Amino acid sequence: QKPHVLQVGSYPDWDQQPLDAGFHMHRLFDTSDKVALLAEVGPNIRGIATRGDLGAGADLINACPNLEIIVVYGVGYDAVDIALCKSRGIRVTNTPDVLTRDVADYGVAMMLCHGRRLIDAQNWVHSGDWSAKGMFPLTKRVHQARAGILGLGRIGYEVARRLSGFDMDIAYSDIGPKDFAKDWTFEPDPVALARRSDYLFVTLAASAETRHIVGRDVIDAVGPEGMIINISRASNIDESALLDALESGRLGSAALDVFEGEPALNPRFLKLQNVLLQPHAASGTVQTRKAMGQMMRDNLTAHFAGQPLPSAVV
């Protein structure tokens, strides 16, 4: 009897096929009547397979009275009701480390792409403006600029390591100074960090404590010449305050890979020229997604085999 597993979102075929072979997968995202599916299979569900961007809230967890484990395809498990899992003794796993460098690469790429206006420059060629109007407008230097890292965890550290290659003046905020970051300036106050940053990277693990840590005060401290890059979770930024600042010019620009309500965006974003919009793609390389899927499946298999879990957070 294959364990019954509730699947919250889609996975690539290279994961879907072994999942279907090893487990009785019930695809919540594929059904038109989620309530009916949960009522029918909920009591049989022993595992939930979800994604960092989708999570598993109390409604889903409570529909599965015999739930034993939730496996997350992603490093962020902020969308999983961890307190409820702890109270019910439900294991939770994620996929750390395998995606760290891809996400850091993508954040730096977003800074360079938007800072040097590569997409506008591409349009300058395609539109014929280069022939008609001449040289593309000048942009600002990125190397030797000032970078702020809000959250020097695994991803923040890899971002800072990359930026040091651009001879940038790097500072970071975190709970405390880090021994491995002696070359960079520790600035505990996010507003002070923002004030001394041309490029502010938001690389915090999302939680109730970090919600809207980038509010109007931090946004205004980055200011009309600065850029905010978010490769963490939308919840770390007050999105309404961000939009107000971008529309008014109080914030120079933003490069965002995550959004409240994604994949549906606030339509105000689509009217702005000073924002780089990316579809939560920072970890989206073949190699990394294969490693994430393998780790997620290894956790599921290990649990039902009574073996230690490769990457448990609860």
- Site string (263-302) toward ligand 8YV, x via CB under 6 A: --------------------x-------------------
Identify the active-site residue in 68, 212, 262, 268.
262
Q: Tell me the window of 51-59, 217-225, 235-243, 298-306 that interacts with ligand 8YV (CB under 6 A).
A: 51-59
Task: Enumerate residues 53-72 that contact ligand 8YV by CB under 6 A.
Answer: 53
Instruction: Pick the closer one to ligand 8YV by CB: 132 or 208.
Output: 208
280 is a catalytic site residue: yes
Angle between helix axes 13-22 and 286-304 (nearest 10 degrees) is 10
Residue 75 interacts with ligand 8YV (CB under 6 A)?
Answer: yes
Question: What dihedral angle (degrees, nearest 10) is formed by the CA atoms of 60, 63, 67, 70?
Answer: -10
Number of residues that bind ligand 8YV (CB under 6 A): 9
Is residue 76 involved in binding ligand 8YV (CB under 6 A)?
yes
Name which of 15 and 174 has its Cβ closer to ligand 8YV. Answer: 15
In order of 8, 13, 42, 94, the CA distances from 86 in angstroms are 20, 32, 19, 15
Report d(CA 228, CA 248) in Å as an integer.
15
CB-closest chain residue to ligand 8YV: 52
Distance CA 290, CA 171 (A): 33
Tell me: does residue 6 bind ligand 8YV (CB under 6 A). Answer: no
The structure tokens 């890899």 sit at: 158
Cβ-based nearer residue to ligand 8YV, 74 or 156: 74
End-to-end Cα, the chain, rounded Å: 26
Query: Which value, to the nearest 10 degrees, does the dihedral of the CA atoms of residues 106, 109, 110, 112 take?
Result: 160
Minimum CB–partner distance for residue 89 and ligand 8YV (Å): 24
H helix intervals, 212-273: 216-222, 239-248
| C-alpha to C-alpha distance for 309 and 97, rounded to whole angstroms | 15
| Annotated catalytic residue within 46, 114, 117, 233 | 233
Out of 15, 42, 73, 85, point to the residue binding ligand 8YV (CB under 6 A): 73
Lay out the site mask for ligand 8YV across 93-122 (x = CB under 6 A, - = otherwise): ------x-----------------------
CB 187 within 8 A of CB 172: yes
CB of 75: closest distance to ligand 8YV in angstroms? 4
Q: To 10 degrees, the CA torsion angle through 73, 78, 80, 81?
A: 160
The residues binding ligand 8YV (CB under 6 A) are 51-53, 73-76, 99, 283
